[in-house]
Amino acid sequence: MVFSSIEFLALFLPLFFIAYLATPGSARNLTLCLGSWMFYAWWKPAFLLLIVGITFAAWYLGREIERAMERGEDGRQRLALAGGIVVILGCLGWFKYANLLVHTTNDALQTMALGPIPWTNVILPIALSFTVLQSVSYLIDVRRRTVMAEPSFVSFAAYLDMFPHLIAGPIIRYSWVDKALIERQLTFEDMSIGARRFMIGFAVKVLIADTLAPVVEAAFALSHPTFVDAWLGNICFAFQIFFDFAGYSAMAIGLGRMLGFKYPENFRDPYLAVTIQDFWRRWHISLSTWLRDYLYISMGGNRRGDVRTYINLFLTMAIGGLWHGASWSFLLWGAIHGVALAIARLWNQRRWRWPSALSYPLTLLTVLFAWTPFRATSWDGTVAMLSGQIGLNGFAISGQMALVMRPLLWLWMGIATVVVFWPAAKGRFFPRFESTGEWWEALWPIALFLYAIAVMMGHQTVPFLYFQF
């Protein structure tokens, strides 16, 4: 069940909110917890046991770490933290990377004329990746004394398994919602602001991201894309993943607000970034800050000399790339950004300066090139698209792409371009979620939402891209 589906909009969401609003404040965490578990069980009930198991392990180990700290048992708290991280990351490793390791091994065996390892592909449960990241951050925060361990399992499960954001982010830290778990209030203002954000996020996902999806599919399916083919596919994918993921984040933030939680922003006009560091301060902010605080800093950050800093930057982004999916092309995407960040740091340390007229297009070009292996998900597909992007297969648009590019697609590409770059002229990030009080500010999200529902019902539901990660 995805947010952009009739099952969610017409069945699950209304029933859940009826139950949630009818529940006394002291019991709403239980309603949120049970509702979230029903949401995950809708896909495959068996995998709910995995989510609940990780939730219980993180809650129990968090309390064990705190007890050990109170008793001064440093070895016990280290063991609980290390054991918890190993077990939780081990679950992710098995479900997410077992297929990749076996297929890579079988490819190597084939080159040596040896038989393959018998294997049935492991299915990746939804919400597992974000459950693991939040569990790890919680245990580390308890160990660092950033937060107190949550004494109530129900409250902790309501935090960790909260359905609005756990499928595809943003990554919510316990310290951001611990007070709201106890004392949140449901107000008409929060409900209206949250509903408005949800409707806008839903609209941009369905109307822009899903409309551009066929162009991306067609371009990346070509074996010899031309220059125009490759760049059309690449630019459309850049728009698609932004509006798909930012749309989901807006929906999650909106739902959270309606439940009484205030999640932080996850995107701030990333395609207006003037440096690669600036891009990562704007794109998937909850992930970039998670990688910084729990991976980069844990590896030493910039405290062990320049060379080690460059290595840490590269490894952080490479691991972040591989986290996105079990494919070496994701590792390549992360490595490209890791190299770019290391070069940018070296450049700044030498006090060299790019003219602003060059810095922005160079940053955008780096981001666009890096999207190619991210979307291609195979080495052959990556090479084919990169070859097209540098003109090795000719320049004119191919017949296949010309058939795909209907007038409506050009219209939505134009709208996407305006939405992405308009904030550069207006000085604020789009979309504007807070209403100014004007009547049209209240009505246009509703009209857009209803139109998006009509469009959604006219074609097959396109899953959110980050569901696969």
Nearest in space to 388 (alpha carbons), one of 405, 374, 375, 369: 369
Q: Contact, 322 vs 332, CB < 8 A?
A: no
Q: Would you say 396 and 388 are in contact if contact means Cβ atoms under 8 Å apart?
A: no
Between the alpha carbon of residue 387 and those of residues 214, 334, 368, 370, the distances in Å are 21, 20, 14, 14
Please tell me the distance from the alpha carbon of residue 40 to that of residue 18, in angstroms, as a whole number.
19
- What pLDDT, on a 0 to 100 scale, did the predictor assign at position 277? 95
Question: In sequence order, which ranges of 144-208 are alpha helices (DSSP H)?
Answer: 153-160, 163-166, 174-183, 188-204
**What's the gap between Cα 27 and its chain centre?**
30
Q: Which burial class, exposed, middle or buried, applies to 266 when counting CB atoms under 10 A from its CB (0-12, 13-18, 19+)?
A: buried
Length of the chain, in residues? 469
Confidence at residue 438, expressed as pLDDT on a 0 to 100 scale: 62
- Separation of alpha carbons 155 and 27, rounded Å: 10
Per-residue tokens: 102: 């076996």
Which of the following is catalytic: 103, 165, 224, 324?
324
CA atoms within 13 A on the CB side of 463: 10
User: Under a CB-based contact definition with an 8 Å cutoff, are residues 296 and 313 in contact?
Assistant: yes
pLDDT for 124 equals 87
CA 114 – CA 68 distance, rounded (Å): 51
- Cβ-Cβ contacts under 8 Å for 41 (sequence gap 6 or more): 48
Predicted confidence at residue 467, as pLDDT, reads 64
In contact, 204 and 453? CB cutoff 8 Å: no
Residue 352: how many CB atoms within 10 A of its CB? Answer: 8
Nearest alpha-carbon partner for 275 in 335, 352, 359, 370? 359
Locate 60 and state its tokens.
Answer: 């129990």
Burial of 349 (0-12, 13-18, 19+ CB in 10 A): exposed
HSE-CB of 237 using CA atoms within 13 angstroms: 23
Q: What pLDDT sits at residue 429?
A: 47
* Nearest Cα to Cα of residue 226 among 393, 401, 400: 393
Which residues, 6+ apart, have CB-to-CB distance to 52 below 8 Å? 37, 157, 161
Residue 171 in 3-state DSSP?
coil
Both tokens of residue 318?
């490479």
Q: Residue 258 is encoded by which pair of tokens?
A: 């309606």
Q: In whole angstroms, how far apart are CA 353 and each of 276, 279, 358?
A: 14, 17, 10
Rounded to an integer, what distance in angstroms lies between the CA atom of residue 184 and that of residue 250? 20
Question: CA geometry: angle at 127 spanning 125 and 129, to 5°?
Answer: 90
Positive/negative CA dihedral, 280, 285, 291, 293: positive
Instruction: Read off the pTM.
Output: 0.92
Quick check: is 284 catalytic? no
Sign of the Cα pseudo-torsion (167, 169, 175, 177, in order):
negative
Task: Provide the residue-wise pLDDT of the chain in tens; the chain has 469 residues.
Answer: 788 888 999 999 999 999 999 999 889 999 999 999 999 998 888 899 999 999 999 999 999 999 999 998 889 999 999 999 999 999 999 999 999 899 889 988 888 888 889 999 998 888 899 999 999 999 999 999 999 999 999 999 999 999 998 888 799 999 999 999 999 988 998 999 999 999 999 999 999 999 999 999 999 999 999 999 999 999 999 999 999 999 999 999 999 999 999 999 999 999 999 999 999 999 999 999 999 999 999 999 888 888 999 999 999 999 999 998 878 889 999 999 999 999 999 888 877 777 777 889 999 999 999 999 999 978 899 999 999 999 999 999 999 999 999 888 999 999 999 989 887 765 554 455 555 566 566 788 899 999 999 998 877 667 777 666 6
Structure tokens at 330: 């994701």
Q: Please tell me the number of Cα atoms within 13 Å of 27 on its side-chain side.
A: 8
Give the pLDDT confidence score for residue 437 in this predicted structure.
Answer: 60
Report the candidate in 251, 237, 254 with the shortest Cα–Cα distance to residue 465. Answer: 237
User: Are 294 and 285 a contacting pair, CB within 8 Å?
Assistant: no
Question: Rounded CA gap, 273 and 270, in Å?
Answer: 6
pLDDT at 295: 94
Tokens read off for 362: 């160079």
Q: Phi-psi region for residue 188, left (φ > 0), alpha (ψ -120 to 50) or beta? A: alpha
- CA distance linking residue 263 with residue 117, whole number of Å: 45
| 230 Cβ contact list (under 8 Å, min separation 6) | 219, 385, 386, 387, 388, 389, 393
